[in-house]
Amino acid sequence: MRENNGFKREMWRFLRPLMWFGCPFAALLLAYVMADPFKVIGNYESYYPEQVAGGVSLNPAHVATRNYLRQHQSGHYDSFILGNSRSIYYPIAAWRQHLPEGSRCYHYDAANESLLGIWQKLRFIAHEGDTLRNVLMVVDAGLLEKVDCDHWHLCETPPELTGYSNLVAFHWYNLKTFLTPTFLVAYIDYSLFHRLRPYMLRKSLLTDDMFVYDAKGNECNFVPLEQQIADGSYYDEARLRVFEGVQFPDSVSPPVIGKPQRELLDSISSIFARQGTSVQIIISPLYNQIRLNPNDLQCLKQLFGSDHVNDFSGPNLWNTDLHNYYEASHYRPHVAVAVMDSVY
């Protein structure tokens, strides 16, 4: 009996610190599940409010995938805009003017999109029974170089696109970000006071993005930003500084399409061939004025056809004026509309 009591005392001595350690973690885990700050646990009718004016940054590919699964049986989508964050500025209404009557369009973008990500999305759309009648693919040297996604909470591939093989990793990256002290402080501060402070915007802890969201097409409309530009309040001193020293008009990007990139591009091209897709590839008119490498351009033309590859890299009529850009990485919707008009 004495030996048994001694064993219990030793076990309690061992478990007590674990309980003290585990209780706070369990509380944080419960808070994470209940708050669902990245909207990766529950299902939502709309992943954004009617007008977004800052808050927690969400994984765009996750939002696009979950929203697609919710909408596609009634939407019967057949036309898709794919690419990284630059593709979200291509308005569906403007694109639809160049498509056959009755085309049903959907934005399927991702942050820091990769070639594998685009292939997975195309495969997923076909698997879900929708047709790829029309595709607008917005690329640049950075996307063409990237084989796989970046592994963090804003970029991790949605599990639905991998057959759920990365389900644990997907949720781990979100939970890990939530448990990061810098995020927790920013999240609690914003939740209590609803004010975005400069420190919250560093490392994409929170976002000050402003747009009107249409769940039907998974489209972000940047009317609030355009209103700021119209009234002269957008291009302040801080925003103007980001445009300084980032243009290289005499530069050409190094070649980025190697064997793995070409294999993925070939797989993407094969999907288009099987589906009879009308595809146009746009190489973005970036503010940096760096031309896409001629070898990469030639590779795209060989795989997709010269008539389907449109190169707007390098100096052009838009990147001579910084007011055509929200910042050095993203051009405004009127530029995207002009690009589409010239392509179609």
Kindly give the pairing relationship between strand 330-331 and strand 278-283.
unpaired
Range of the domain at 86: 51-343
The count of other CB atoms within 10 Å of the CB of residue 147 is 14
Return the biggest CA–CA distance within the chain. Answer: 89
Q: Number of structural domains, the chain?
A: 1
In percent, how much of the chain has pLDDT > 70?
Answer: 91
In angstroms, rounded to a whole number, what is the distance separating the alpha carbons of residues 132 and 272? 7
User: Is 42 among the domain residues?
Assistant: no
pLDDT of residue 17: 55
Which tens digits make up the pLDDT trace of 267-294? 999 999 999 999 999 999 999 999 999 9
- Supply the pTM of this predicted model: 0.90
Residue 239 has pLDDT above 80, yes or no: yes
User: Is 318 among the domain residues?
Assistant: yes
In angstroms, rounded to a whole number, what is the distance separating the alpha carbons of residues 247 and 236? 20
User: Is 281 among the domain residues?
Assistant: yes
Which structure tokens are listed for 47?
A: 């992943």
User: Is 185 among the domain residues?
Assistant: yes
**Buried-exposed string 222-237: b where 16+ CB fall within 10 A, e elsewhere:** bebbbeeeeeeeebee
Mean pLDDT to the nearest integer, 156-175: 95
User: Is 84 among the domain residues?
Assistant: yes
pLDDT of residue 27: 78
User: Is 59 among the domain residues?
Assistant: yes
Backbone dihedral region of 152: left (phi > 0), alpha (psi from -120 to 50 degrees) or beta? beta
Mean pLDDT to the nearest integer, 224-231: 94
Which tens digits make up the pLDDT trace of 9-34? 554 454 455 445 556 777 778 888 88
User: Is 21 among the domain residues?
Assistant: no
Residue 231 has pLDDT above 80, yes or no: yes
Torsion of CA 113, 114, 119, 120, to 10 degrees: -70
User: Is 88 among the domain residues?
Assistant: yes
Residue 8 has pLDDT above 70, yes or no: no
**Side chain identity, residue 29:** L
Please state, rounded to an integer, the average pLDDT across all residues of the chain: 91
For the chain, first and last CA: distance in Å? 88
Under DSSP, the state recorded for 42 is S
